[in-house]
Amino acid sequence: MLIASLLGILLLAGADQLIKYWAVTQLQPVGEKPFLHFGDFQILGFRYLENDGAVFSSFSGMRWLLIVFTSLMMVACLIYLIREYRKSKLLTASLTLIIGGGIGNLIDRIFRDGLVVDYLDVKLFHFAVFNFADCCVVVGVVLLAWYLLFGERRQKPAEKQESKNA
């Protein structure tokens, strides 16, 4: 299970970089492309954007702080994954998504002069432009929160014993 998770991390980060390569080579020259729509009603589009901050451009221009913070978080998540992967598939999946997405954006911060490539633009309502790595991190954090709030760890000792006996 751990090896599958580590391969998943590499695949997620690799997929993120491939999509960003497409965005840089194909989307950047045109700026925007429609993607998902019904007639003239736009739902989701592609728009090339470079972000030098974090969520909603917070910490804009603080490249090294973001690199150090993201690196520390990825190491902490990786240690947690290695120590706890046997506990739950949900925990393993959530940490795999967080680490894969975090590494995808970390690669941009390090090798693109601190700029993260974003390209998904929600047209249905005004929202931030984001990327695949961001989606992985958000879904991973939601799953991790679910696990921490409602997962196996929250069972009372008597309930754990009953589930083992069943």
Active-site choice (16, 108, 121, 134): 134
Please indicate whether residue 16 is annotated as part of the active site. Answer: no
Please indicate whether residue 118 is annotated as part of the active site. Answer: yes
Helix (H, G, I), strand (E, B) or coil at 164: helix
In angstroms, rounded to a whole number, what is the distance separating the alpha carbons of residues 127 and 104?
Answer: 21
Measured CA to CA in angstroms, residue 74 lies from 40, 78, 105, 153 at distances of: 41, 6, 11, 22
Active-site choice (16, 108, 118, 121): 118
In angstroms, rounded to a whole number, what is the distance separating the alpha carbons of residues 23 and 146?
Answer: 32
Reported as type and span, the H/E element at residue 103 is helix 89-111
DSSP state of 119: E
Active site residues: 118, 134
